Chain A
């Protein structure tokens, strides 16, 4: 398997507002959210970014999705730079996060067609893909119902379908099962595994250990914006549970940082 995603020394710093400084009880005006992050992801694997809240997972994914620019470093998606060729990168990735919402006043059917047009998907291909994914997720039952009237699980299924209209090579999911009922969560994780089996690369960020253990081939542990471990699940856990290993690593890292 060859590398399709290469993250090189990615760094992102945010300026803290007075309100944030007060909230975080700090006088520092800058916060390094991601600090010299490097890793690769291969074709046909699920790569997990594991870390506590504020570790820099969402910032990293936003940079990979070209929504924000890194201060330094770069990332290459199938050889295309997120800094110099963001349009090319956007054609190759599908991005789903709870921050990205769908317009309440439209139906899943309309939104699928709308995003297909933005991705310039051929009409015949679009119709075939839509039928396939709508049937698989059961969206066809509520395809003409406005998003506002759908349950959280239904909305997540529609978001998933919409993020895949262009059949991207890399699928990036931020907390893919957050807020979902067990049945919908299972549908989503099964689908991610199927995407992997079809040779797609899936990057997920999460703080749920069981999800990483179930899904991921390789894992990167992110603490305070740094990648402290990046390896196969087996090499990281060394026979222990992922949760125990994570806290051991967290303790070691915290000790080093102090």
Chain B
């Protein structure tokens, strides 16, 4: 290899390895992937399971003695069903986990059935709601129990043959998918929008020496801070909105057949308004925090590296929204900036949002932003910060 190539290589490597910030940016992706994927794995595991102590609510119509013995042995208490239609509605409303429907003479029909006769086998209908983790878990437990029993009888009955027993509504299904994915995606998009503009506006102005030109005018430092944060929030909102809209529109395609025929237009104007309030207040918090971090930095690149831990935090909080069950009912939770945003988003998408929680979130995030503006204004007054080169 030519010596000049080596010389250039050495210079480039010396630049990388001599700069601690660049080193961090090289190592950070691996650390991030490990932390986020570990957390996601744990979250996904929790999403599709319920508490070990949880006892599902099951009703059964014409429960035969054979199956009653099985469910009792498996620790699944079963109530008799008086009204099948009413019970189905309860499953849809997620008030009942499972409904088993047997024919009146199930045990006798099973005993009489000849596997090679060409006639339809006796059928058990197991109604559940796929939008509910508890119902889904109970469904899997009971069907595997029935399948095992059926195998023992040389396949003399069927489970859910030719019947769609998932009683989840279109809204429930779409809502559960959106509630699982969108809070994390939205938080990531909002962070990306904020981090693409705030360092440039604050650290970039310091780096280029243009902020000092403004500071020698009589304008109040607080006005500079507020003006910048509001402008950045608008740009970040546009960026975040563009990404979010693209995601919502593309989600059915992303999910492939899982969402076929399901409309994404399942939310009311009220839901969108609540979501808009949450997004706006979230962007203000993110822009404020990134602006403060950027004010400490000497260059845009340095500001971006300072913001990396915030990115990890935002992603982890986004992943926390994947835990099942919708939004928290505890209002105190909504006093934690950013976590409150994830909870509210999760609540909006799963139809479990409380308007009071959104109000607390907006108030807390607004107060946090005001505090941040005050800090940023103080920083603009600090010669150590403005002239640190």
- A residues neighboring B (CB under 8 Å): 65-69, 87, 90-91, 93, 95, 99-104, 115, 118-120, 162
Partner of A100, one of B216, B218, B220, B383: B216
Q: Are A67 and B383 in contact (CB under 8 A)?
A: yes
Asked, given contacts A99-B209, A101-B209, whether A68 binds B383 with beta carbons under 8 Å apart, the answer is: yes
**Which residues of B lie under 8 Å from residue A102 when comparing CB positions?**
210, 213
Does more than half of chain A's interface fall in helix, strand or loop, or is it mixed? loop
Q: Are A68 and B213 in contact (CB under 8 A)?
A: no
Q: Are B218 and A69 in contact (CB under 8 A)?
A: no
Q: Are A90 and B387 in contact (CB under 8 A)?
A: no
Q: Are A118 and B210 in contact (CB under 8 A)?
A: no
Q: Are B209 and A87 in contact (CB under 8 A)?
A: no
Q: Are A100 and B208 in contact (CB under 8 A)?
A: no
CB distance from A91 to the nearest CB of B (A): 5
Asked, given contacts A68-B383, A68-B387, whether A119 binds B218 with beta carbons under 8 Å apart, the answer is: yes
Q: Are A67 and B216 in contact (CB under 8 A)?
A: yes
Q: Are A69 and B383 in contact (CB under 8 A)?
A: yes
CB distance from A115 to the nearest CB of B (A): 7
A12 (CB) vs chain B CBs: closest residue: B383
Q: Are B383 and A118 in contact (CB under 8 A)?
A: no
Q: Are A101 and B383 in contact (CB under 8 A)?
A: no
Q: Are B217 and A90 in contact (CB under 8 A)?
A: yes
Complex Cα gap A69–B208 (Å): 22
Asked, given contacts A68-B383, A69-B383, whether A118 binds B217 with beta carbons under 8 Å apart, the answer is: yes
Q: Are A65 and B216 in contact (CB under 8 A)?
A: yes
CB distance from B220 to the nearest CB of A (A): 8
**Which residues of A lie under 8 Å from residue B219 when comparing CB positions?**
118
Q: Is B215 an interface residue (CB 8 A)?
A: yes
A116 (CB) vs chain B CBs: closest residue: B217
Q: Is B212 an interface residue (CB 8 A)?
A: yes
Q: Is B161 an interface residue (CB 8 A)?
A: no
**Which residues of A lie under 8 Å from residue B216 when comparing CB positions?**
65-67, 90, 93, 95, 100
Quick one: CB contact mask for B193-216 with A, threshold 8 Å, 1 for yes? 000000000000000111011111
Complex Cα gap A20–B313 (Å): 35
B389 (CB) vs chain A CBs: closest residue: A99
Q: A67-B383, A90-B217 are in contact. List 7 more A-B contacts (CB 8 A).
A: A66-B216, A67-B387, A68-B387, A87-B220, A90-B218, A93-B216, A104-B208
Asked, given contacts A67-B383, A68-B387, whether A99 binds B212 with beta carbons under 8 Å apart, the answer is: yes
CB distance from B204 to the nearest CB of A (A): 10
Give 17 CB contacts A-B under 8 Å.
Answer: A66-B216, A67-B215, A67-B216, A67-B387, A68-B383, A90-B218, A95-B216, A100-B210, A100-B213, A101-B209, A101-B213, A102-B210, A102-B213, A103-B208, A103-B210, A118-B217, A120-B218
CB distance from B318 to the nearest CB of A (A): 33
B205 (CB) vs chain A CBs: closest residue: A103
CB distance from A166 to the nearest CB of B (A): 8
CB distance from B221 to the nearest CB of A (A): 10
**Which residues of B lie under 8 Å from residue A103 when comparing CB positions?**
208, 210
Complex Cα gap A254–B217 (Å): 38
Asked, given contacts A68-B383, A69-B383, whether A118 binds B214 with beta carbons under 8 Å apart, the answer is: yes
Q: Are A101 and B210 in contact (CB under 8 A)?
A: yes
**Which residues of B lie under 8 Å from residue A162 when comparing CB positions?**
213
